[in-house]
Amino acid sequence: MSEQYNVTGMSCAACSARVERVVKKIPGVTSCAVSLLTNSMTVEGSASSDSIIAAVEKAGYGASLKVPDAPQVSHSQEEEALADHETPILKRRLISSLLFLAALMYFSMGHMIGLPLPEFFVNNHIAQGLAQMILAGIIMIINQKFFVSGFSSLLHAGPNMDTLVAMGSFASFSWSVYVLFMMTREHAGLFSTHDFYFESAGMILTLITVGKMLEAKSKGRTTDALKSLMKLAPKTATIFNGREISVPVEQVTKGMIFIVKPGENIPVDGVITEGTTAVNESALTGESIPVDKAQGDSVSAGTLNQSGYIRCRATRVGHDTTLSQIIKMVSDAAATKAPVAKIADKVCGIFVPSVIIIAVCVVTGWLIAGKSFGDALSYGIAVLVISCPCALGLATPVAVMVGNGVGAKNGILFKTAVSLEETGKIKIAALDKTGTITSGEPKVTDIFTAGDYLEEDLVKLAYSLESKSEHPLAKAVVSYAKEKGINFQEVRNFQALPGNGLTATLNDGSTLTGGSVKFIGEKYSFSERFTREAERFSEAGKTPLMFVRDDELVGIIAVADTIKPDSKEAVKELQSMGIRVVMLTGDNERTAKTIAKEAGVDDVIAGVLPDGKESVIRELQKGGKTAMVGDGINDAPALTRADIGIAIGAGTDIAIDAADVVLMKSSLSDVSSAVRLSRATLRNIRENLFWAFIYNVIGIPLAAGLWGLKLDPMFGAAAMSLSSFCVVTNALRLNLFDVHGGRR
- Please state at what angle helix 144-155 crosses helix 125-142, rounded to 10 degrees: 70
Task: Give Cβ neighbours of residue 115 (< 8 Å, ≥ 6 apart).
Answer: 106
Task: Give Cβ neighbours of residue 271 (< 8 Å, ≥ 6 apart).
Answer: 296, 297, 298, 299, 312, 313, 315
The Cα 608–Cα 406 span in angstroms is 36
Identify the DSSP state of 156: T
Q: Which of 150, 208, 172 is nearest to 363 (CA)?
A: 172
The Cα 407–Cα 225 span in angstroms is 9
The Cα 583–Cα 561 span in angstroms is 15
- In 470-567, the DSSP E strands lie at 492-497, 501-505, 511-516, 543-549, 552-560
107 Cα distance to chain centroid? 51
Residue 408 one-letter amino acid: A
CB atoms within 10 A of CB 744: 7
Q: What residues act catalytically?
A: 432
Q: Which of 445, 511, 441 is nearest to 471 (CA)?
A: 441
CA distances from 685 to 228, 451, 690 (A): 24, 69, 8
Q: Do 104 and 135 contact (CB within 8 A), yes or no?
A: yes
Q: Would you put residue 346 in left (φ > 0), alpha (ψ -120 to 50) or beta?
A: alpha
The Cα 303–Cα 294 span in angstroms is 15
Q: What is the 3-state secondary structure (H, E, C) of 622-677?
A: HHCCEEEEECCHHHHHHHHHCCEEEEECCCCHHHHHHCCEEECCCCCHHHHHHHHH
Residue 206 one-letter amino acid: T
Q: Which of 606, 604, 659, 609 is nearest to 630 (CA)?
A: 659
Buried b (16+ CB within 10 A) or exposed e, 58-73: ebbbebeebeeeeeee
Q: Do 717 and 207 contact (CB within 8 A), yes or no?
A: yes
The Cα 510–Cα 645 span in angstroms is 54
Task: Please tell me whether residue 244 adopts helix, strand or coil conformation.
Answer: strand
Q: Which of 492, 478, 473, 617 is nearest to 542 (CA)?
A: 473
Q: Do 549 and 524 contact (CB within 8 A), yes or no?
A: no
CB atoms within 10 A of CB 6: 14
Task: Please tell me whether residue 239 adopts helix, strand or coil conformation.
Answer: strand
Residue 343 one-letter amino acid: I
CB atoms within 10 A of CB 579: 21
The Cα 512–Cα 514 span in angstroms is 7
Q: Which of 109, 186, 182, 174 is nearest to 147 (CA)?
A: 174
The Cα 727–Cα 39 span in angstroms is 18
